[in-house]
Structure 1
Amino acid sequence: MTPPRISADRLWKRLMALGQDGALPNGGVNRQALSVEEIRAWRRVIAWGTEAGLVPSTDPAGNLFLTFKGSAPQLAPVVAGSHIDSQPTGGLFDGAFGTLAALEAVTAIVEANLAPERSIVVVGWMNEEGSRFAPGMMGSELFAGLRSLDDVLAVRDADGVSVGEALTRVHEAFPDMEHRPLGFPIHSYIEPHIEQADLLEKSGAVIGIVTGIQGKKTYEVTIAGREAHAGTEPMERRQDAVQAFARVALMMQQAMAVDDKVKFTIGRLMVEPNAPSVVPAKVTFRIDLRHPSNALLDQLDTQLEAILIKEATPCSFNIRRLVDAPSNDFDSGLMNAIRSSAKRHGFHHLDLLSAAGHDARQLAPLTRSAMIFIPCQGGISHHPEEWAQPDHVAAGAAVLLDLLLQETGLSSHQGDA
Structure 2
Amino acid sequence: MMYADAHKAASHVSGERLWNRLMRLAEIGATAKGGVNRQAMTPEDSQARALMADWARGLGFSVQQDGIGNLFMRRDGRDISRLPIVTGSHLDSQPTGGCFDGVLGVVMALEALEAIQEAGIRTHHPLEIVAWMNEEGSRYGPVCMGSSVYVGRMGLAEACASVASDGAVLGDELPAALAAVAPAEERDFGAPMAAYLESHIEQGPVLEEQGVQLGIVSAIQGIRWFRCEVTGAEAHAGTTPRRMRRDAGQAAMRMIAAMEEAFTDEGDAIRFTVGQFHVDPGSPNVVPGRAAFSIDLRHPDAALLDTLSEQVHAICQEHRGPCQVTVEQVGGVAPVDLAPWMTGVLDDCAAELDVTRMTMPSGAVHDASNMAALCPTAMLFIPSREGISHNEAEWSEPDACRDGARLLAASLVRIDERLSQ
| 1:376 counterpart (384, 391, 396) | 384
Q: Which residue of 2 aligns with 1:415?
A: none
Question: Could you say what secondary structure the match of 1:192 adopts?
Answer: strand
Residues 120 and 320 of structure 1, relative CA distance in 2, 3 Å threshold: same
Q: Which residue of 1 aligns with 2:39?
A: 32
Residues 294 and 410 of structure 1, relative CA distance in 2, 3 Å threshold: closer
134-143 vs 99-108, greater mean Cα deviation: 134-143
CA RMSD of aligned residues (A): 3.2
| 1:204 counterpart (203, 206, 211) | 211
Q: Which residue of 2 aligns with 1:266?
A: 274
| 1:347 counterpart (326, 331, 355) | 355
78-87 vs 32-41, greater mean Cα deviation: 32-41
Q: What letter corresponds to residue 291 of structure 1 in structure 2?
A: H
Q: Does 2:108 match 1:101?
A: yes
11-20 vs 151-160, greater mean Cα deviation: 151-160
Contact 1:116 1:410 in 2 (8 A): no
Q: What letter corresponds to residue 216 of structure 1 in structure 2?
A: I
> Deviation at 1:44?
1.6
> Deviation at 1:188?
1.0
Q: What letter corresponds to residue 389 of structure 1 in structure 2?
A: E
| 2:366 counterpart (344, 349, 358) | 358
Contact 1:133 1:156 in 2 (8 A): yes
163-172 vs 352-361, greater mean Cα deviation: 163-172
> Deviation at 1:57?
2.1
| 1:119 counterpart (119, 126, 131) | 126
TM-score by length of structure 2 reads: 0.85
| 1:319 counterpart (294, 319, 328) | 328
1:195-254 deviation line (CA, Å, top 9, x unaligned): 222332233321222222222222344556788998999999987664554344334333
Structure 2: runs of 5+ lacking an equivalent: none
CA distance in 2, matches of 1:181, 1:233: 66
> Deviation at 1:275?
6.0
Q: Does 2:37 match 1:43?
A: no
Q: Does 2:412 match 1:392?
A: no
CA distance in 2, matches of 1:37, 1:241: 45
CA distance in 1, matches of 2:413, 2:313: 49
Question: Could you say what secondary structure the match of 2:198 adopts?
Answer: strand
Q: What letter corresponds to residue 322 of structure 1 in structure 2?
A: G
> Deviation at 1:258?
5.2
Within-5 A mapping of 1:8-157: 8-157=15-164
> Deviation at 1:83?
1.2
Q: Does 2:348 match 1:337?
A: no
Q: What letter corresponds to residue 80 of structure 1 in structure 2?
A: T
Residues 286 and 240 of structure 1, relative CA distance in 2, 3 Å threshold: same
Task: Using the aligned pairs only, state the percent identity.
Answer: 39
Contact 2:65 2:185 in 1 (8 A): yes
CA distance in 2, matches of 1:142, 1:55: 22
TM-score by length of structure 1 reads: 0.86
Residues 61 and 249 of structure 1, relative CA distance in 2, 3 Å threshold: farther
| 2:13 counterpart (6, 29, 36) | 6
CA distance in 2, matches of 1:369, 1:147: 20
CA distance in 1, matches of 2:42, 2:97: 14
> Deviation at 1:152?
3.5
Within-5 A mapping of 1:102-251: 102-174=109-181, 176-222=183-229, 242-251=249-258
> How many equivalent residue pairs?
411
Contact 1:272 1:280 in 2 (8 A): yes
Contact 2:53 2:181 in 1 (8 A): no
Q: What letter corresponds to residue 128 of structure 1 in structure 2?
A: E
Question: Could you say what secondary structure the match of 1:34 adopts?
Answer: coil
> Deviation at 1:144?
2.6
CA distance in 2, matches of 1:171, 1:273: 47
> Deviation at 1:153?
3.3
20-29 vs 350-359, greater mean Cα deviation: 350-359
Question: Could you say what secondary structure the match of 2:380 adopts?
Answer: strand
Residues 317 and 36 of structure 1, relative CA distance in 2, 3 Å threshold: farther
189-198 vs 274-283, greater mean Cα deviation: 274-283
1:134-185 deviation line (CA, Å, top 9, x unaligned): 3312222232333344433333332333443443442244454333221111
Residues 60 and 202 of structure 1, relative CA distance in 2, 3 Å threshold: same
| 1:406 counterpart (393, 403, 414) | 414
Question: Could you say what secondary structure the match of 1:141 adopts?
Answer: helix
Q: What letter corresponds to residue 112 of structure 2 in structure 1?
A: A
352-361 vs 253-262, greater mean Cα deviation: 253-262
